[in-house]
Amino acid sequence: MKLNVSAQLDYNISSASTLILNIQALRTQEQKILHEEFIVSESDVKIDELTSVGGENRMMRLAVPKACKLRVNYKATVDTSYQINNYRKLTEEPISKLDPEILPYLNPSRYCQSDKLYRLAAHMFGDIDSPFAQVIALTNWINTNILYLSGSTNSQTSAFDTVTEQAGVCRDFAHLGIALCRALTIPARYFTGYAYKLKPADFHACFEAYLGDNWVLFDATGLAPLNGMVKIATGRDAADAPVSSLFGNVRGTGRLISCELAEDDFKPYYYFGNKFEGLSYL
């Protein structure tokens, strides 16, 4: 499916600074970049394209030599593809067979303190016998119990807060989903991307659970169809896959994100929990 995505980011920079932006669509076997441009408003900015360890994320490092107002424009046309698998017969993946590169996604992380949620997760979801059904159940629980409320949280809010305070934004919904999965011994990671039909338009955050050798996408906010995403990055949580890391006297002053279909045909796909289907981007 073809999508046009764009991000316009404005920064007020008071002295020499470095920005690391993680806003480009990921290049994978199944997510093809048909066209892409990355433009900065100042000619003396040194730009460096980086790839994270394991190759999973693309980052642009901008060395800005002096004070300025900087505008970054990113545009891309992306051809995405995903698969939908049936997990009805999936049983719990024994830890003893898990690939070592998956194991870190069982560990607690900055915003996903799964080590504090074991008993709670076991009480609420431990009796469900299929891991897929556990993730669907916890996603639904988050969707039902956590209030989506702009401005209710900040960059320090973690899953341990959200499980009790019960309000947050997409990032908080994702962190709680990840933490509950890991507490149930299901590997899970953070996913950022562009999302078709997300309102108001912005970067989106979801999570992926590792089920039956696939990273299956879940969105506890339910705010956008799962099949209208363009993947930017994955990581352990938002600390690991931030849209921007700012070093120096830099202040974000605005952003404008869009994600539109570049073709006509689109059937929105959501989970409803009555089927055992899961969607994966590759």
By the rule CB under 8 A, 164 interacts with its own copies: yes
Torsion of CA 50, 54, 56, 58, to 10 degrees: 0
State yes or no: residue 245 binds its own copies (CB under 8 A). yes
Sheet bearing 203-211, strands edge to edge? 214-218, 203-211, 188-195, 229-235
Does 29 participate in binding its own copies (rule CB under 8 A)?
no
Torsion of CA 51, 73, 169, 104, to 10 degrees: 0
165 binding its own copies? (CB under 8 A)? yes
**282 vs 279: CA distance, rounded Å:** 10
Rounded to a whole number of angstroms, the minimum distance from the CB of residue 93 to its own copies is 11
Amino acid identity of 147?
L
CB of 95 to its own copies, least distance (A): 4
Q: Are 163 and 178 in contact (CB under 8 A)?
A: no
Name which position in 2, 30, 41, 46 contacts its own copies (CB under 8 A): 46
In terms of Cα–Cα distance, which of 272, 212, 189, 209 is closest to 91? 212
Of 41, 247, 256, 268, the residue at the interface with its own copies (CB under 8 A) is: 247
* 196 contacts 205 by C-beta, under 8 angstroms: no
- Minimum distance, C-beta of residue 198 to its own copies, in the bound complex (Å): 24
Q: Which of 33, 187, 61 is nearest to 112 (CA)?
A: 187
Residue 54 near its own copies by CB under 8 A: yes
Q: Which two tokens stand for residue 41?
A: 């408003």
Evaluate whether 228 touches 247 at the Cβ level (below 8 Å). no
In the complex, what is the shortest distance from the CB of residue 63 to its own copies, in angstroms, rounded to a whole number? Answer: 4
Is 252 an interacting residue with respect to its own copies (CB under 8 A)? no
Amino acid at 76: A
Site for its own copies in 108-127 (CB under 8 A): 108-110, 113, 115-117, 119-120, 123
Count of residues of this chain found to bind its own copies when the rule CB under 8 A is applied: 47
Q: Which of residues 55-114 bind its own copies (CB under 8 A)?
A: 59, 61, 63, 94-96, 100-101, 103-104, 106-110, 113
- Residues in the site for its own copies, rule: CB under 8 A? 18, 20, 46, 48, 50-54, 59, 61, 63, 94-96, 100-101, 103-104, 106-110, 113, 115-117, 119-120, 123, 145, 147, 155-156, 160, 163-167, 185, 239-240, 242, 245, 247
